[in-house]
Structure 1
Amino acid sequence: MELIEVPQLIRNAERFREVVTILTRHGLADWMSGVPSIWPDRLRGAVADDSMTTAERVRVAFEDLGTTFIKLGQVLSTREDLVGRELACELAQLRANTPSDPSDEVIAMIESELGAGIDELFSSFDPVAMASASIGQVHRATTHEGDDVVVKVQHPGIERRIVNDLEIMQKLAEIAEQQSERLRQYRPVDTIREFQRSLMRELDFQRELKNMDRFRSNFEDEPDVHFAVPYPKLSSRRVLTMERLDGISVSDKAALKSSGADLNEVAHRGATVFLDMIFRDGFYHADPHPGNLMLLGPGTCDDQQPAKQVVGLLDCGMVGRINDALRDDLEAALIAAVTGDADSIAEIVVRLGEVPSDFDEPSLVSEIHDMLDDYSDQKLRDFDVSSCLRDVTRSIREHQIHLPAKVAMLLKVLAMLEGTAHQLNPEFSLAELLQPYGQQAMRRRLSPRRVYERIKNRVDDWDHLLSILPKDLGDVLHSLKQGNFDIHLQHRRLEPIVNRLVMGILTAALFVGSASLWSSGVPPLLFGVSVPGLLGCLLAMVMGVRLCWQISKVR
């Protein structure tokens, strides 16, 4: 496909040139060398910095490219199954150091979004941002009711820039998938589409507000867990006002120690909150890094119980969801891991993921058997969940199994959760904390109510099938009787094959016909050689060479 034919390129020509230039500068655009383009040759074939690994060059390039590419890198850091451990770890270091916007632009954005003056909305508003991230910045404020709040404001114009970058990413992904066998295994088109959906949801602060309300509802009976209270009347799609939480960030271990906090209790409580979200609620905070957790102080409780320190959670923009079917598979995988059933684990992996046509299931089962043997002699307290998940992810990637994004995100969250807890207490054991959830899962799956629900669902499925079968079978028999029964087959990616086949037939026909003209001496003649025959043979040879070159690129 010619780049100049792409409508997005016309709208975003300068930005497209900038993206290609930066990728080339870091030696990451070699896959574009075979693409006909309007860009000058100086944008191609740059020599990469030999002092940096490919993963490091990707990270630096994403930092140079700005907000949207940094967010993409952060998302890819959760897809170790897709990009590999080295690149995932490197991209996990990406942090957007975005300068704050001028106060007059921020205030104008708030007033435009909320439809009132800043003095009408807040009794006080600090024009100096307390923090600035890739999408928005945060300001302290006080409501007219005297509540201390923070106001999260989207950077002006950031949505338009992100949309433009997403269009460019989509086109680059299509080119990469067409031109590079190496990049094709990363499924760039599907990855960018999933990233686009995720990022556009993150740009809508109303979604984060709803997430906060849902988390608060799920934990309303647990006084030692706190999510900020949102203020819907002071919020919009680009402005989010929420309760200001005052406490100690879990990332500040020295301050936690100085406060006298029990770090083991904080790690245990924080991890329990996330496991409850995952296995109890099926709706979880998907970014459990230390900066998103705070220690707020003692919670409310009765007189007989000592006060517990409250764990507060920030930034509810990125969430994960687990439906009943996925929860069943997760529970089955936990039970299979406990019982050492490698065949069942492999079956679940295959059912959840998308396997290649040459998938070797016995090999995967054998690897899982070996992995279970490696971990079987470890005590529960010493079991390294993160290491086990990395081994599973590595095996999945080696067999080119592509997991759904929601599964990959869950695996990453569990690994991040253990890492965050280990920063507080190196002796913390996530496996010990997971054990009761595995036992609960086994009891739940074998409970009479669950067995009844499964039987009922099967009966409903069979009842539906039996209700539609007579009519569908009658339609098929009627079509057979009338002689108009058709079978429609859908062939994906068949067009390039057909095109090459037609090109081969035309090339052969042209060569045979031209050779006949040459041998027959069909005029006009040049030095006794038939000019039509000679030109036809040369054209056939050019077509044949080009066809062979195209076929050699497809492995």
Structure 2
Amino acid sequence: MKITAIPQLYRNLKRWREILTVLRRYGLADWLSSFRLPFRDALKDPRGVPLSNYTREQRVRMALTDLGPTFIKLGQILAARPDLVGPKLGEELKRLRANVRPDAIEQVRATLREELGDDYKKYFTSIDPVPLATASIGQVHRAVLGDGTRVVIKVQRQDIEKIIRQDIDVLGGLAQLAQRVEGLSNWRPVEMVRQFAPMITRELDFSRERQNLEIFAEIVRKTNTSVKIPKPHKQYCTKRVLVMDELVGTTLADFISEKNAPKSNHTITVPSAKGTTKVLTSKQVCDSLCETIAGVYLAMIFDEALFHADPHLGNLIVLEDGSLGILDFGMVGRIDETLRETIEEMLVAIASGDQNRLTRLIRRIGEAPPSLDESGLAVDVADFIATYGRQDLGEFDLTGALNELSDILHRHAIKLPNQSALLLKMLISLEGTLRELGAGFDSLDVVKSFVRKSVARRLSPRRRIRQARRIYLEAENFLETAPDELISLVQQVRRGEVRVSLEHQSLGPSINRIVLGLIASAVFLGSSLLLAMKVPPLLFTQPTFLAMQDLSLIGLIGIAGSISVMMWLVIAINRSGHLTRGNDD
């Protein structure tokens, strides 16, 4: 630990203690659950249920919930990374909800006063004191503007920024400790926290979400005019306050529950093009919603390279006229042209059953560890292709395919870039939403139509010209800079300033074993001399069994200790499988 980190550690000491207490409690429960001990049920949840009755994934979710908003948000981000945590834990983390008490209306008004000024009340005719929704970072209240416009106000919770930044500091310390654990170091927790920290802190700035609302409103205007995005009122928006139009309707979750309710005959009356009205049944509405949802989200991916990353049932709303509204643009994914083309190639490889090509694409899109089992990955991809590559269009299980692909990545420790993982999570959520609607709609058919359009776009003369221009500019830049770089390298060689740094990934444990063996040997030789010289204190001053007499106590202790260390080294080397390897000849 650096000495400069001591003041920071002291400031966060209380939070460290709280976090370690929760981790110790759930970690001990996880350890006890594997034994049939009388006291294994001593640790219980607030309802009195023994923690050992829960699965490991459930205990992880409960621990993150107890640790507060930052860890809940971290768990929600990790839920989008089944390649890191595995599909089973990722599915459990999707259930994470911020179980926090809302700020009192006085605290909300204090935040509005700080952000909009002391005269903020003149902007609003009324503000509903009861929050419409509460999350870990902010809460939403209905309000009415001075001109009668119905809006919702998203207000950041008081002191949440201080809490999150403090927790990120603690997470950095925990990651450094985890980096030293052999089973966790492969996932590079320090780098993981470094990547996730900006994703968490980015949601503290509501001005980003306001920009996302404006961008996506422009996208849906180009793709589907029936989709509604809340319009932000920029003059009332700040870093901690977001004011936007209220979308009046029913969340997709409530709409589905009403549709599936016993004896339900759910209908919606919508205006028609001729100025009259017509009645749609729930099935007709579901079919229309499925087509709209799939069309707009796939257009985001393949046409705009920008997508709403959280299309779960609570963020999609059925408006009064039966059209679709989309909420919560705090988490947005962006993909570059290379990633988009790789995704298209993966879909083509799956459809054509080309396992070699799919294996190469998986390695290209992800970051594989040095110890990757190439043959094992090839076998898993072949099984994947055999299962999903030949399914009929109407029977294709997109969710199952994406979960299986996530499991393969997790099993072989292949780490996806953040945006790729977000896209994977979005597609799984999208497919789940479409299945919940239960309409006769084949999402894969829409996917294939977008892929065909994307392939045509890739082969278009315009793209080829743009690609040739980019290659020309890169080549021109290389030819201009390469001579200077080469001359600089030659000059450094002449001055003797060129240094070669070699790093062996697995040399550390071997060096440690060599050093420990040398120390044990030295202690053994020294202890033998102590026995030979009869250095006091002495045992057996009179002749005893096997003529043992005048044995140095210190020498005996040293020999026993050195022999124990040597035996431990032999066992450790034998377990690693390198004791006799290469000596068969």
Q: TM class, shorter-chain normalised?
A: 0.7 to 0.9
Contact 1:250 1:294 (C-alpha < 8 Å) held by counterparts? yes
Q: Please name the residue that 2:581 is paired with.
A: none
Q: Please name the residue that 2:204 is paired with.
A: 203
Determine if the alignment matches structure 1 residue 430 to structure 2 residue 431. no
Q: How far apart are 1:495 and its partner, in Å?
A: 6.4
Whole-angstrom distance in 1 between the partners of 2:188 and 2:29: 17
Q: Relative to structure 1, is the Cα distance of residues 21 and 551 closer, same or farther in structure 2, using a 3 angstrom cutoff?
A: farther
Q: Please name the residue that 1:212 is paired with.
A: 213
Q: Relative to structure 1, is the Cα distance of residues 498 and 232 closer, same or farther in structure 2, using a 3 angstrom cutoff?
A: farther
Deviation by residue 1:360-404 (Cα, 9 ceiling, x = unmatched): 334323432332232344221221111111121222222221112
**Residue 333 of structure 2: which of 299, 302, 320 is its match?**
320
Q: How far apart are 1:26 and its partner, in Å?
A: 2.4
Q: How far apart are 1:478 and its partner, in Å?
A: 5.1
Q: Please name the residue that 1:339 is paired with.
A: 352
Q: Relative to structure 1, is the Cα distance of residues 483 and 10 closer, same or farther in structure 2, using a 3 angstrom cutoff?
A: closer
Q: Relative to structure 1, is the Cα distance of residues 9 and 296 closer, same or farther in structure 2, using a 3 angstrom cutoff?
A: same
Q: Secondary structure at the match of 2:143?
A: strand
Q: Please name the residue that 1:59 is paired with.
A: 61
Q: How far apart are 1:8 and its partner, in Å?
A: 4.4
**1:462-477 superposed matches below 5 A:** 462-477=475-490
Whole-angstrom distance in 2 between the partners of 1:554 and 1:117: 71
Q: How far apart are 1:334 and its partner, in Å?
A: 2.3
Q: Counterpart amino acid of 1:361?
A: E
Contact 2:350 2:389 (C-alpha < 8 Å) held by counterparts? no
Q: Counterpart amino acid of 2:328?
A: D
Q: Secondary structure at the match of 2:158?
A: coil
**Residue 294 of structure 1: which of 302, 309, 317 is its match?**
317
Which range moves more in the overlay, 544-553 or 481-490? 544-553
**Residue 385 of structure 1: which of 379, 391, 398 is its match?**
398
Q: How far apart are 1:413 and its partner, in Å?
A: 0.6
Q: Secondary structure at the match of 1:98?
A: coil
Contact 1:27 1:46 (C-alpha < 8 Å) held by counterparts? no
Q: How far apart are 1:282 and its partner, in Å?
A: 1.1
Q: Counterpart amino acid of 1:258?
A: T
Q: Please name the residue that 1:244 is paired with.
A: 246
Determine if the alignment matches structure 1 residue 397 to structure 2 residue 420. no
Q: Please name the residue that 1:23 is paired with.
A: 23
Contact 1:335 1:442 (C-alpha < 8 Å) held by counterparts? no
Q: Please name the residue that 2:179 is paired with.
A: 177
Q: Counterpart amino acid of 2:403?
A: R
Identity of aligned residues (%): 37
Whole-angstrom distance in 2 between the partners of 1:11 and 1:384: 51
Contact 2:103 2:157 (C-alpha < 8 Å) held by counterparts? yes
Q: Relative to structure 1, is the Cα distance of residues 176 and 153 closer, same or farther in structure 2, using a 3 angstrom cutoff?
A: same
Whole-angstrom distance in 2 between the partners of 1:342 and 1:547: 43
| Structure 1: 5+ residue stretches without partners | 32-41, 299-308
Q: How far apart are 1:141 and its partner, in Å?
A: 1.4
Q: Relative to structure 1, is the Cα distance of residues 431 and 149 closer, same or farther in structure 2, using a 3 angstrom cutoff?
A: same
Q: Secondary structure at the match of 1:226?
A: coil
Deviation by residue 1:188-238 (Cα, 9 ceiling, x = unmatched): 333333322111001111111111111122223342122111122212111
| Structure 2: 5+ residue stretches without partners | 32-38, 45-49, 260-265, 269-279, 540-549, 578-585
TM-score (norm 1): 0.85
Contact 1:346 1:361 (C-alpha < 8 Å) held by counterparts? no
Q: Relative to structure 1, is the Cα distance of residues 194 and 365 closer, same or farther in structure 2, using a 3 angstrom cutoff?
A: same
Q: How far apart are 1:355 and its partner, in Å?
A: 1.2
Q: How far apart are 1:296 and its partner, in Å?
A: 2.3
**1:410-449 superposed matches below 5 A:** 410-449=423-462
Whole-angstrom distance in 2 between the partners of 1:71 and 1:380: 37
Q: Relative to structure 1, is the Cα distance of residues 551 and 150 closer, same or farther in structure 2, using a 3 angstrom cutoff?
A: farther
Q: Please name the residue that 1:267 is paired with.
A: 290
Q: How far apart are 1:491 and its partner, in Å?
A: 5.4
Q: Secondary structure at the match of 1:354?
A: coil
Contact 1:20 1:29 (C-alpha < 8 Å) held by counterparts? no
Q: Counterpart amino acid of 1:265?
A: S
Q: Secondary structure at the match of 1:139?
A: strand
Contact 2:125 2:144 (C-alpha < 8 Å) held by counterparts? yes
**1:37-52 superposed matches below 5 A:** 49-52=51-54
Which range moves more in the overlay, 189-198 or 147-156? 189-198
Determine if the alignment matches structure 1 residue 486 to structure 2 residue 509. no
Q: Please name the residue that 1:303 is paired with.
A: none
**1:2-13 superposed matches below 5 A:** 7-13=7-13
Whole-angstrom distance in 2 between the partners of 1:87 and 1:30: 15
Which range moves more in the overlay, 426-435 or 148-157? 426-435
Q: Secondary structure at the match of 1:140?
A: strand
Which range moves more in the overlay, 48-57 or 131-140? 48-57
Q: How far apart are 1:248 and its partner, in Å?
A: 2.0
Q: Relative to structure 1, is the Cα distance of residues 498 and 214 closer, same or farther in structure 2, using a 3 angstrom cutoff?
A: farther
Determine if the alignment matches structure 1 residue 283 to structure 2 residue 306. yes
Larger Rg: 2
Q: Relative to structure 1, is the Cα distance of residues 391 and 539 closer, same or farther in structure 2, using a 3 angstrom cutoff?
A: closer
CA RMSD, aligned part only? 3.4
Contact 1:82 1:402 (C-alpha < 8 Å) held by counterparts? yes
Q: How far apart are 1:515 and its partner, in Å?
A: 4.2
Which range moves more in the overlay, 528-537 or 405-414? 528-537
Q: Relative to structure 1, is the Cα distance of residues 401 and 28 closer, same or farther in structure 2, using a 3 angstrom cutoff?
A: farther
Whole-angstrom distance in 1 between the partners of 2:570 and 2:212: 55
**1:250-261 superposed matches below 5 A:** 250-252=252-254, 253-255=256-258, 257-259=266-268, 260=280
Deviation by residue 1:449-497 (Cα, 9 ceiling, x = unmatched): 3233333433444433333343444444555566665323355686676
Q: Counterpart amino acid of 2:159?
A: G
Contact 1:83 1:186 (C-alpha < 8 Å) held by counterparts? no
Q: Counterpart amino acid of 1:341?
A: D
Contact 1:205 1:236 (C-alpha < 8 Å) held by counterparts? yes
Q: Please name the residue that 1:304 is paired with.
A: none
Q: Counterpart amino acid of 1:247?
A: G
Whole-angstrom distance in 2 between the partners of 1:216 and 1:509: 75
Whole-angstrom distance in 2 between the partners of 1:479 and 1:87: 52
Q: How many positions carry a matched residue from both structures?
A: 530
